[in-house]
Amino acid sequence: MSTSLRSAADHQRQVAALIASRHADGWPAEVVPLTQSRDRILAEPVASAEPLPAFDNSAMDGYAVRSADIAGATAQAPVRLPVAGDIPAGAPVGDLAPGQAMRIMTGAPLPRGADAVVEVEATDGGTTTVTINEERASGSFVRTSGADVAVGQEVLPAGTLLGPAPIGVLAALGVREVSCRRRPRVLVCSTGSELAEDPDPTAGQIRDANGALLAAAVEEAGGEALRTLWVADDVPAFLALLDEAVAHGDLDLVLTSGGVSAGAYEVVKDGLGPRGVEFVKVAMQPGMPQGSGTVGGVPVVCLPGNPVSALTSFEVFVRPALRAAVGHPVEQRATVRATLTEALTGPPGKRQLRRARLDRRTGEVSPWGPAGSGFLGWFAGADALIDLPADGGPVAAGSLVDVWDLLAR
């Protein structure tokens, strides 16, 4: 392996440190309505101002009683109590006189004086008089106020990923808006004089795939993709547009694609290299040429232009770095060990991330499409990446390999 190549793991660490450095004193926060907070990261802990449950209530459909009134009850020697009334869910808190029972529904407030609920199954279900066949200890089938969440308790710590249950408990506690870490604001910049503006490329021109692809990848990673900048292979024009966007964008990251390899018109490398952005070769296929640095104080990550390389590079370097920077609890794509259905050999000295299809029922994985980086159509039909280590040698069919599950969030 050539000593001039940087390992993928080293470049990943470099990009992670770069993006985290944007807000070294803590990622900025913003207030978000609870109804729009799914998949966001809580910026501050939430303490409850109220108990949950809010009041003592019944855990079962049954009868609210004083436990002392039914002490010793058995099927052979049941206790009969008059039924003083019904307590449906939503009723106000009533009173239970000694020696009486009240029919109570799940979630209805326990009447003052009662200290237990006898589930309907342990009774004859009577509506004027109830026959109770088993005794119940004080507290039986009572959901005590504050037993789930106590007043003043930290119910969710900072850094919580807001999924259904956290959003649900906040709704139950009456919280309507939450302080969340700002989604990383990412400017996507596609480069290349061959890129045409939709819809009608002229001869020799192509449509911009990377703008849409990287914007979608940014959003899927939890970021916010700002407008896509499109620039021709013209260094002064590229720098002018970039400087303008950086000066006015309040950006957390600039992502460029194209113009970083060894051709004659490498607009990103030629424009940003002299400004101190570092361009390196990474021992990875696809995605060997990479760049990273800052522009106007904003981190910039320069990805190769081939769409397959750009997306694979995003997966390996940028996605985990964005998530780490905002404190997302899941930085890395979920990986599984799967059984390879055909033999594979990676390129010598390079880690290979090979498009694949993963059968999640059988645990088998099959390479999908050719190894070259010009096959976006094939990538579109893949749902996984086989991660072959550098210098791993040939891998036989039937071997267990590491697979990134691209359908896992």
The residues binding ligand AMP (CB under 6 A) are 190, 192, 194-195, 206, 208-211, 257-261, 263, 304-307
Q: Quick one: 209 or 358, whose CB is closer to ligand AMP?
A: 209
Q: Please choose which of Mg ion, ligand AMP, none residue 292 contacts, taking the beta carbon within 5 to 8 angstroms, the exact cut-off set by kind.
A: none
Q: Quick one: 368 or 375, whose CB is closer to Mg ion?
A: 375
Q: Which residues pair with 195 in a beta bridge?
A: 206
Stretch that binds Mg ion, among 5-13, 90-98, 297-305, 312-320 (CB under 5 A): 297-305
Residue 216 CA to chain centroid, in angstroms?
A: 14
In sequence order, what E strands does 217-316 have?
224-231, 253-257, 278-282, 284-285, 289-295, 298-303
Those residues with Cβ within 8 angstroms of residue 30's Cβ, 6 or more apart along the chain or in another chain = 43, 179, 180, 182
Secondary structure (DSSP) of 25-64:
T---EEEEEGGG-TT-BBSS-EE-SS-BSSS-EESSSEEE
Q: Verify binding: residue 192, Mg ion, rule CB under 5 A.
A: yes
Alpha helices in 140-292 (DSSP H): 164-172, 210-220, 235-249, 267-272
Instruction: Report how far residue 388's alpha carbon sits from residue 392's, in angstroms, rounded to the nearest whole number.
Output: 7
Q: Quick one: 146 or 304, whose CB is closer to Mg ion?
A: 304
| Contacting residue, 51, 111, 259, 293, with Mg ion by CB under 5 A | 259
Supply the angle between the helices 8-20 and 319-326 in degrees, to the nearest 10: 40
Q: Quick one: 259 or 286, whose CB is closer to Mg ion?
A: 259
Q: Please choose which of ligand AMP, Mg ion, none residue 291 contacts, taking the beta carbon within 5 to 8 angstroms, the exact cut-off set by kind.
A: none
Shortest approach of ligand AMP to residue 223 CB, angstroms? 18
Q: Please choose which of Mg ion, ligand AMP, none residue 195 contacts, taking the beta carbon within 5 to 8 angstroms, the exact cut-off set by kind.
A: ligand AMP
| Residue, CB closest to ligand AMP | 305
Q: Please choose which of Mg ion, ligand AMP, none residue 349 contacts, taking the beta carbon within 5 to 8 angstroms, the exact cut-off set by kind.
A: none
Instruction: Report how far residue 12's alpha carbon sits from residue 136's, in angstroms, rounded to the nearest whole number.
Output: 61
Those residues with Cβ within 8 angstroms of residue 116's Cβ, 6 or more apart along the chain or in another chain = 64, 65, 66, 67, 70, 136, 137, 138, 139, 140, 141, 142
Q: Quick one: 43 or 195, whose CB is closer to ligand AMP?
A: 195
Residue 326 CA to chain centroid, in angstroms?
A: 11
Q: Please choose which of Mg ion, ligand AMP, none residue 257 contacts, taking the beta carbon within 5 to 8 angstroms, the exact cut-off set by kind.
A: ligand AMP
Instruction: Report how far residue 281's alpha carbon sits from residue 288's, in angstroms, rounded to the nearest whole number.
Output: 5
**Cβ(218)–Cβ(322) below 8 Å:** yes
Q: Which amino acid is at 362?
A: T
267-292: b (≥16 Cβ within 10 Å) or e:
bbbbbbbeeebebbbbbbbbbbbbbb
Q: Please choose which of Mg ion, ligand AMP, none residue 277 contacts, taking the beta carbon within 5 to 8 angstroms, the exact cut-off set by kind.
A: none
Shortest approach of ligand AMP to residue 255 CB, angstroms? 11
Shortest approach of ligand AMP to residue 200 CB, angstroms? 16
**Cβ(231)–Cβ(238) below 8 Å:** yes
Q: Quick one: 37 or 313, whose CB is closer to ligand AMP?
A: 313
Structure tokens, 260? 């970083």
Q: Quick one: 188 or 316, whose CB is closer to ligand AMP?
A: 188
Q: Which amino acid is at 275?
A: R
Q: Quick one: 98 or 236, whose CB is closer to Mg ion?
A: 236
Q: Please choose which of Mg ion, ligand AMP, none residue 304 contacts, taking the beta carbon within 5 to 8 angstroms, the exact cut-off set by kind.
A: ligand AMP
Q: Quick one: 63 or 238, whose CB is closer to ligand AMP?
A: 238
Q: Please choose which of ligand AMP, Mg ion, none residue 320 contacts, taking the beta carbon within 5 to 8 angstroms, the exact cut-off set by kind.
A: none
Shortest approach of ligand AMP to residue 284 CB, angstroms? 15
Shortest approach of Mg ion to residue 191 CB, angstroms? 6
Shortest approach of ligand AMP to residue 322 CB, angstroms? 20
Point out which residues bind Mg ion (CB under 5 A). 192, 258-259, 305
